Structure 1
Amino acid sequence: MQELLEKLIEKHKPVCNKGKIPDYIPILREQDPFGLGITVVTTDKKIVSAGDCPTRFTLQSISKVIALILSIMDNGEEAVFAKVGMEPTGDPFNSIYKMEVFSYSKPLNPMINAGAMVVSSLINGKTVSEKLERLLKLVRDMAENDQIQIEEEVFRSEWEQAHRNRALAHFLKELDLIYDVEDALAVYLRQCAIGVDCTDLAKIGLCLAQNGRSYSGKQLFSRHVARLAKTFMVTCGMYNASGEFAIRVGIPAKSGVSGGILASVPDRMGIGVIGPALDEKGNSIGGIAILEDLSCEWNLSIF
């Protein structure tokens, strides 16, 4: 396993040259465009890493999966999906085009920014801090790492440039889907700024692969909630490249603009990948290449 992962890192490092670092979040411009790392954690407790796996990065949109889990645990499935839909969209992750043009009454799914803000606002807690403390605890429990923190410098960088997301929040407020624009935005952007490494991400993926059971065996949430999360990862997790990823790779996965990819192979393993250079859809170009080869080598596709 170690040899294969190192081989794939070496093979796909050059493809990073075809991607680019996002320039709309100032602090992310500092990432190494040629960085590439992977960790695999299996159900029989093997942990294998290769490449730049110790590199720390922020969850960004990967956090949407964990926020969805917590929101469903807090409110129940029916209440959450009364305010956010279940359908994929071919539009960019920060778009509300279909809501505006087709007069939808709620965001299409929890994996686009508008839907994620609604989901995060539903997390139980009287204040922004209480909501975030509960979300951070779930991230730590899934990764089994109490040192995971919110990277305040990343949050501040995103907060200062959050013009599109603030506009989305005002639109959601007009539809009565969130209570307070600034609070909803603060929860959402801070959850995006939670810092992890590939091993943390792989253990989170393992927890999903084991239907809510962590690496050490603690049941954190139900099989049903895990199934819901993995289903959204398949249908919506890789932005508007989710269909192609499902065909070529076939693994439930969620990407983030930091270059991270969370992948979960049911009953087999969790995978964490970092590759900051992104393709035109906003996904790690090197990370996708590695996962495609890995899926082929180990027959990981769920289809």
Structure 2
Amino acid sequence: KKFNGNKDEAFKAVIDMTKKLTDNNNLEYNVEIYESSKDTGYTNLAIMYTMQKNRVIPGIVDVKDVLEIYNKACTIMIDTRDLAYMGSVLARDGVNLKGEKILSKKNSRILRTLMAICGTYDYSGDFAVDIGIPAKSGVGGGILATIKNGMSIATYCPGLDSKGNSLVGIKY
């Protein structure tokens, strides 16, 4: 969906989709982590202004609203089961384990491709060569890897390396 200017509706759409992708209706975002991120997102704000300058984000949209939605989305509290379930949806071309279509086949493929080319930040090229499957790491210490045949692997261990990936998750 396109952003209609209502940041509360937009975040509700994000968390509702995350609940579908994880098959977990009890997800919430962490208010404390979100509040702490509000004062440190200058790089993300600069990126969003650049995106707006290049018309990726329409000029009528307040990029600070988009950043708020993004920061809240980054603090949605999920566990490794949720992460693995989400990966299985991507690995099954958008279909969950109940047989329900959550994402289109095309969007699932696009997401797996993005994971492969930039999902582990500056380590993405090495990860692709060394491991060879699409993966996405998060600043909370989670890593999700998935392949098209329906399998996904999720790890969690806080503590990040110099490239922003879980120290233990990347090692094993």
Q: TM-score normalised to the size of structure 1?
A: 0.53
* Contact 1:203/1:271 (8 A) holds in 2: no
2:147, 2:126 → 1: CA distance?
17
Of 130-139 and 168-177, the range deviating more from structure 2: 168-177
Q: Which residue, 151, 159, 162 being the options, matches 1:277?
A: 159
Aligned to 2:18: 139
Bigger Rg over Cα: 1
Aligned letter for 1:221? L
Give the fraction of aligned pairs with identical amino acids, expressed as a percent: 34
User: Does 1:199 pair with 2:81?
Assistant: yes
Question: For residues 220 and 168 of structure 1, what CA distance do their matches in structure 2 show?
Answer: 29
Cα distance, 1:264 vs structure 2: 1.0
Aligned-pair CA distance for 1:248:
1.1
Contact kept? 2:93, 2:104, Cα under 8 Å:
yes
Structure 2 unmatched runs, 5+? none
Let me know the Cα RMSD of the aligned residues. 1.5
**Larger relative contact order (CA 8 Å, sep ≥ 6):** 1
Quote the residue 1:247 is aligned against. 129
Counterpart residue number, 2:65: 183
Which stretch shifts more, 273-282 or 137-146?
273-282
Q: Secondary structure at the match of 2:38?
A: helix
Matches within 5 A, 1:114-129: 123-129=2-8
CA offsets 1:177-215 (integer angstroms, 9 cap, x no match):
332121111111111111100000000000001110112
The residue identity in structure 2 corresponding to 1:140 is K
Aligned to 2:49: 170
Deviation at 1:287, TM superposition (A): 0.3
| Structure 2 counterpart of 1:216 | 98
- The 3-state SS of whatever aligns with 1:272 is strand
Shift of 1:137: 0.9
Question: Contact 1:173–1:180 (CA<8 Å) still a contact in 2?
Answer: no
CA distance in 2, matches of 1:221, 1:177: 22
Aligned residues: 169
In structure 2, what residue type is equivalent to 1:160? D
Q: TM-score, normalised by structure 2?
A: 0.91
The aligned counterpart of 1:153 is: 32
Q: 1:249 to 1:190 in 2, by over 3 A?
A: same
Cα displacement (A) at 1:241: 0.9
Residue 273 of structure 1 deviates from its aligned partner by 1.1
